[in-house]
């Protein structure tokens, strides 16, 4: 028996690894929270859960140990409970922005995922290409929307769905200069009529939608889901978002009257772009010349791809004195697309 | 990102009191701040007049406290040996004490 070229390609892809361009497709990483209701990034890493008008409850769910409905023993899956609210512009979408608009451009790629719903229900798949921002002559090309718009019928059982998509060439397009271009995957669950062209006239519906093992790979064949180690997956996610519940900086520092301290906190991996950093509740002490003074606040100062410099405030402000600080706070660094 | 307050912070902005948004086009929050400004909003200054005054006074205080500490040995020497503190030092120490608020 002779294998087809397509089959051989699929066989090779299934063993060489790094084929899946979706990050956190196995829903193992939930740095921000285990559930969310607001629109935006808020629970499952890298997944942008968007709503307008309708409501959502996104949450992490655990598979029963030893289950065989979904292969490869995934530990978690993502659930979205949609409560649809009538409105032509309303929607609930689960999406992911894949860094680099060149991803699979001019070729066929295949999306595969396991999914089920609380009843037989449709969802719609869409891809878009965004050419980023920055630059004026010429300006970045406009987004290309409505790529590969397809309806997928879910049932109440876990089923693997496969959606090949021909992604347009980006030849002749203009990239923005800010390095924030991307390929965008949309999983439409609820869509008012304004979105008919992009959601294949899906319409509005409430329900519970569950997703597992989302993968997009080169070629027209969906191969076995590529598992990555949790450490590797976490590092991939941390390129875009990182948080610690508490950091403690114990550092040498140099002090002036206006920039009080410069505590370096290093990120675990280099981030995609200079991140937004938040330190919502700084506390601790600054020690100067053998005496301590309480930290009264502070904020991220200079931020780079690898570290953030934190400026600390205190009531006492010695000038040009060597100091060190023991400060703690939750800290987040956000460089999502 | 829902923006409630924006304050200049170095080359970037402090948004909603805790998020430091860099002046970098690759950052998605940067674009939210730019849209907010384009809507006609104006970021608050990095320091209020009161904070600028407080920082300036703190710097004055620290410089003068440091001078007093550096010249304390004249006073101790006088107490120990009776050697007089030079007049210019006495005048400068008086000025330093007067400047501290």
ipTM of predicted assembly, 2 dp: 0.83
Report the Cα A289 to chain-centroid distance in Å. Answer: 45
- DSSP 3-state helix, strand, coil percentages of chain B (rounded to 5)? 55, 10, 30
Supply φ then ψ for residue A281, to 5 degrees: -150, 80
* Residue B85 burial class via C-beta count within 10 angstroms: exposed 0-12, middle 13-18, buried 19 and up: middle
**pLDDT digits (tens), chain A, 337 positions:** 455 555 555 555 555 568 999 999 999 999 999 999 999 999 999 999 999 999 999 999 999 999 999 999 999 999 999 999 999 999 999 999 999 999 999 999 999 999 999 999 999 999 999 999 999 889 999 999 999 999 999 999 999 999 999 999 999 999 999 999 999 999 999 999 999 999 999 999 999 999 999 999 999 999 999 999 999 999 999 999 999 887 766 665 655 554 556 678 899 999 999 999 998 888 888 877 777 878 877 888 888 999 998 888 776 655 666 677 777 888 999 999 9
Q: How many CB pairs under 8 A join A and B?
A: 75
Contact A276 B63 (CB under 8 A): no
Mutate to test the interface with B, among A257, A290, A293, A296 (most CBs of B within 10 A): A257
Can you give the length of chain A in residues?
337
C-alpha gyration radius of chain B: 24
Question: What distance in Å separates the CA atoms of residue A48 and residue A129, rounded to the nearest whole number?
Answer: 16
User: pTM score, two decimals?
Assistant: 0.86
Q: Which residues of A touch B29 (CB under 8 A)?
A: 276, 334
Question: What distance in Å separates the CA atoms of residue A218 and residue A226, rounded to the nearest whole number?
Answer: 13
Question: What distance in Å separates the CA atoms of residue A80 and residue A93, rounded to the nearest whole number?
Answer: 9
Q: Which residues of B touch A317 (CB under 8 A)?
A: 55, 58-59, 62
Listed residue (A211, A208, A186, A212) closest to A199, CA to CA: A186
Q: Which residues of B touch A97 (CB under 8 A)?
A: none
Question: What distance in Å separates the CA atoms of residue B42 and residue B65, rounded to the nearest whole number?
Answer: 39
Question: What distance in Å separates the CA atoms of residue A142 and residue A144, rounded to the nearest whole number?
Answer: 6
Question: What distance in Å separates the CA atoms of residue A6 and residue A11, rounded to the nearest whole number?
Answer: 9
């Amino acid at each position: 028996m002779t294998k087809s070229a397509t089959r051989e390609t699929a066989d090779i892809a299934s063993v060489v690894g790094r084929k899946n361009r979706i990050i956190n497709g196995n829903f193992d990483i939930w740095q921000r929270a285990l559930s969310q209701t607001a629109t935006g990034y808020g629970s499952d890493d890298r997944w942008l859960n968007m709503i307008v008008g309708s409501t959502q409850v996104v949450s992490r769910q655990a598979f029963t140990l030893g289950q065989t409905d979904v292969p490869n023993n995934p530990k978690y899956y993502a659930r979205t409970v949609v409560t649809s609210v009538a409105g032509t512009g309303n929607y609930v979408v689960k999406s992911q922005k894949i860094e680099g608009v060149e991803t699979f451009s001019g070729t066929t790629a295949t999306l595969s995922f396991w999914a089920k719903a609380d009843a037989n229900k449709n969802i719609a798949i869409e891809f878009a290409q965004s050419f980023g921002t920055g630059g004026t002559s010429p300006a970045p090309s406009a987004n290309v929307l409505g790529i590969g718009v397809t309806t997928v019928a879910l049932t109440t059982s876990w089923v693997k769905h496969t959606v090949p998509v021909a992604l347009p060439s980006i030849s002749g397009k203009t990239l923005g200069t800010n390095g924030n271009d991307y390929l965008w995957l949309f999983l439409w669950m609820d869509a008012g009529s304004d979105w008919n062209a992009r959601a294949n006239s899906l319409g509005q519906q409430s329900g519970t939608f569950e997703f597992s093992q989302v993968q997009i790979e080169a070629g027209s064949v969906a191969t076995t889901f590529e598992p990555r180690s949790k450490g590797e997956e976490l590092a991939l996610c941390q390129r875009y978002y990182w948080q610690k519940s508490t950091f403690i900086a114990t550092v040498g520092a140099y002090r002036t009257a206006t920039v009080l301290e410069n505590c370096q906190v290093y990120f675990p991996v280099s981030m995609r772009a200079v991140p937004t950093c938040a330190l919502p509740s700084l506390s601790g002490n600054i020690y100067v010349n053998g005496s301590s003074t309480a930290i009264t606040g502070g904020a991220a100062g200079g931020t780079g791809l690898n570290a953030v410099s934190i400026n600390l405030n205190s009531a006492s402000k010695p000038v040009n004195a060597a100091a060190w600080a023991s400060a703690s706070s939750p800290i987040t660094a956000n460089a999502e697309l | 990102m829902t923006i409630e307050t924006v304050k200049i912070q170095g080359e970037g902005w402090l948004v909603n009191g805790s998020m430091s948004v860099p002046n970098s086009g690759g950052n998605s929050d940067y674009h939210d701040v730019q849209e907010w400004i384009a809507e006609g909003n104006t970021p608050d200054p990095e320091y209020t007049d009161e904070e600028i005054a407080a920082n300036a006074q703190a710097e004055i205080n620290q410089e003068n406290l440091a001078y007093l500490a550096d010249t304390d040995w004249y006073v101790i020497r006088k107490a120990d040996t009776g050697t007089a503190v030079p007049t210019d030092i006495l005048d400068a120490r008086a000025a330093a004490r007067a400047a501290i608020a």
